[in-house]
Structure 1
Amino acid sequence: MEQALRALDLCVVVDVAMTETARLAHYVLPASSQFEKTEFTLFNFEFPTNYFHVRAGVLPPLAGTLPEPEIYTRLAVALGLLPGDNVLGPLREAARRSRTEFAAAFRAFMGENPSAVAVGALVLYHTLGQTLPDGTAAAAPLWNAALACAKRSPQAVRRAIGASDEVADHQLGDLLFDTIVAARQGAAVTRHDYDEVWTLIGYSDRKIRLVVPQMLEWLARLDPQAADAPKEFPFMLAAGGRRMFNANQIFRDPAWRRDDPDGAMLINSNDLDALGAKDGDWIAVESSVGRLVVRCKVDDAMRNGQLALPHGYGQAYPAPDGERLVNGPRINLLTESGNRDPIAGTPYHKNVAVRLALVPAHEAAAHQSQSERIHMSAPAN
Structure 2
Amino acid sequence: MESSNPANSAADTAMTERAIRQCELSVVVDVAYTETAALADFVLPASSQFEKWEWTFFDFEWPTNYFHLRRPLHDPLPGTLVEAEIYARLFDELGVLPDQQTLDRLTEVARDDRPSLLKHAGPVLQDNPAIAPVLLYRTLGRTLPTGAASAAILWPGCHTAAKKMTVPVQRALGTDLTGPALGEALFDRILASPSGVAFSKHEYDEIWTLVRNERIRLAVPELLDWLTGLDPDRDGVAPDYPLSLVNGQRRSHNANQILRPPAWRKSDPDGALRVRTEDLGAIGAADGDWVAVVTRTGRIVVRAEIDDSLRRGQVALPHGYGVSVPDGHGGRVTHGPRINLITDVTDRDPIAGTPHHKDVPVRLERVTAAECANAERDRDRVRQLITRGR
Q: TM-score, normalised by structure 1?
A: 0.92
The question of 1:180 aligning with 2:195 is answered: no
1:209 aligns with 2:221: no
The equivalent of 1:147 in structure 2 is 159
SS at match of 1:275: coil
Name which of 350, 353, 368 aligns with 1:360: 368
Alpha-carbon separation, structure 1, partners of 2:23 and 2:364: 35
Q: What residue is the counterpart of 1:197 in the other structure? A: 207
> Residue 51 of structure 1 contacts residue 190 of structure 1 at CA under 8 Å; is this kept in 2?
yes
Task: State the alpha-carbon separation in 2 of the partners of residues 344 and 317 from structure 1.
Answer: 33
Q: Please say if residues 320 and 373 of structure 1, whose CA atoms lie closer than 8 Å, have aligned partners that are also in contact.
A: no
Cα deviation code 1:160-196 (max 9, x no counterpart): 1111x3x234411111111112211111110111111
Q: Is the 8 A contact 1:320 1:374 kept in 2?
A: no
The answer to whether the 8 A contact 1:282-1:359 is kept is: yes
Aligned-partner SS, 1:272 = helix
1:297 match: 305
Root-mean-square deviation (Å): 1.8
Higher relative contact order (CA 8 A, sep 6+): 2
**Alpha-carbon separation, structure 1, partners of 2:323 and 2:263:** 14
Mind listing any 5+ residue stretches in structure 1 that lack a counterpart? none
Q: Displacement of 1:111 after TM fit?
A: 5.0
CA distance in 2: counterparts of 1:45 and 1:276, whole angstroms:
51
User: 2:334 is matched with which residue: 317, 326, 346?
Assistant: 326
- Residue of structure 2 equivalent to 1:287: 295
The gaps in structure 2 that reach 5 residues or longer are 1-15
Q: Which residue of 1 aligns with 2:18?
A: 3
Could you say what secondary structure the match of 1:343 adopts?
Answer: coil
d(CA) in 2 for partners of 1:136, 1:112: 24
Which string of whole-angstrom CA distances, capped at 9 and with x for unpartnered residues, describes residues 321-369 of structure 1? 4432111000000011111123222111222111101123453243123
Q: Could you report, residue by residue, the CA deviation over 1:268-320 in whole angstroms, capped at 9, with x for unpaired residues? A: 12212222211111101000010001011111221111111111111112335
- SS of the residue corresponding to residue 66 of structure 2 reads strand
Instruction: State whether residues 125 and 131 of structure 2, in contact with CA within 8 Å, keep that contact through their aligned partners in structure 1.
Output: no
Task: Note the C-alpha offset of 1:151.
Answer: 1.0
Aligned equivalents of 1:112, 1:371: Cα separation in 2: 56
Counterpart check, 1:253 vs 2:265: no
Contact 2:115-2:184 at 8 Å conserved across structures: no
1:115–1:350 Cα change, 3 Å: farther
For 2:121 and 2:327, locate their aligned partners in 1 and report how far apart those are by CA, in whole Å: 55
Q: Displacement of 1:226 after TM fit? A: 3.4
**Cα gap change, 1:184 to 1:87, in 2 (>3 Å):** same
Could you tell me the TM-score, scaled by structure 2's length?
A: 0.90
In structure 2, what is the Cα distance between the partners aligned to 1:219 and 1:118?
41
Q: How far off is 1:254 after superposition? A: 1.2
Give the 3-state SS of the residue equivalent to 1:353 in structure 2. strand
| Residue correspondence of structure 1 range 1-381 to structure 2 within 5 A | 1-102=16-117, 106-110=118-122, 113-163=125-175, 165=176, 167-203=177-213, 205=214, 207-376=215-384
Q: Which amino acid aligns with 2:163?
A: K
* Worse-matched range after superposition: 336-345 or 325-334: 336-345
Assess if the C-alpha contact under 8 Å between 1:82 and 1:116 holds in 2: no
Secondary structure at 1:224's aligned position in 2? coil
CA distance in 2, matches of 1:142, 1:340: 36
1:122-148 deviations in Å (ceiling 9; x for gaps): 111111111111421111111111111
Question: 1:107 and 1:227, CA in 2 relative to 1: closer, same or farther beyond 3 A?
Answer: farther
* SS of residue paired to 1:159: helix
Q: 1:312 to 1:112 in 2, by over 3 A?
A: closer
CA distance in 1, matches of 2:362, 2:138: 51
Check the 8 A contact 1:110/1:116 in 2, yes or no: no
Distance change in 2, residues 1:77/1:220 (3 Å): farther
CA distance 1:219–1:87, change in 2 (3 Å): farther
How far 1:248 sits from its partner (Å)?
3.0
What is the deviation of 1:62?
1.6
Number of positions where the alignment pairs a residue of Structure 1 with one of Structure 2: 371
Instruction: Return the offset for 1:159.
Output: 1.2
Contact 1:279 1:298 (8 Å CA) reproduced: yes
Deviations 1:223-280 (A, max 9, x none): 3333323101111111112211111322222111110000001111221222221111
SS of aligned partner of 2:348 = coil
What is the distance in 2 between the residues matched to 1:98 and 1:107? 11
Where 1:171 maps in the other structure, the secondary structure is helix
Q: Counterparts of 1:219 and 1:193 in 2: how far apart (Å)?
A: 38
For 1:148 and 1:317, how far apart are their aligned partners in 2? 43
Question: SS state of the match for residue 61, structure 2?
Answer: coil
